[in-house]
Amino acid sequence: MKKNRCAVTIFLMAISLYSAHTLMAQSSTYTISSSKVNAMKLSGTSTLHDWEMNTGSFSGGAQFVVGDGEAQAIDALSALTFTLPVRNLESDKNGLDKNAYKALKANKYENIVYKLASAKVIPDKAGNHLVKTNGNLTVAGVMREVSMDVHCYINKDASIRCSGSEKLKMTDYGVEPPTFLLGAMTTGDAITLDFTLVFKQ
């Protein structure tokens, strides 16, 4: 009889602890803020020189589970999306921009879109979190699965900064590497997407 009472007591304590943890760490909706830290960059090479296109204008949201307490930590990331209008990307050369928009089929597919499929959060030191993600990236109307390491940090104002980098191939998305100067300059197939996003509740 005593053993049964002990088992029931332990079971009730476990439920209480689980409930307390659930109350302290609940999923919250975040959106990309208007922070000046926000940045996305597409960069690559060419037969003449390296190139890059930048923007700080895009939109998106996320669902973070953040634990309560003095030392806040990201317990989980259940959703994340971002939408990048292609024509918001700009370089310091109008000709490069026009050819890039044409290659990315911006007239038909206005946005580059990412949607998270799954994520595993690995806490690090000093509030840093390594998030191993899998998701779908759509470029020029073609969707491909990508795996990215995203580094997240909880700021003092409770916003969450996420940054990462991913190497892509234009031809994987049906994009023909653009040429310039009547074919004298040809871009390489490999490009890199770098990003920093700041999310706020």
**Residue 39 CA neighbour count, 13 Å, CB half:** 12
Which tokens in the block code for residue 84?
């990048």
How far, in Å, CA of 61 to CA of 29, rounded? 7
How many other C-beta atoms can be found within 10 angstroms of the C-beta atom of residue 138?
A: 16
Residue pLDDT tens, the chain, 201 long: 545 554 444 433 443 433 444 434 578 999 999 888 999 999 998 887 888 999 999 999 999 998 876 567 899 999 999 999 999 999 988 888 998 999 999 999 999 999 999 999 998 766 789 999 999 999 999 999 999 999 999 998 889 999 999 999 999 999 988 776 666 668 889 999 999 999 999
How far, in Å, CA of 157 to CA of 24, rounded? 18
Which tokens in the block code for residue 131?
């998030």
Strands (E), the chain: 27-32, 39-46, 51-55, 59-66, 74-85, 111-123, 128-139, 142-154, 160-169, 179-180, 185-200
Map out the domains of the chain with their CATH numbers. 26-200 (2.40.128.110)
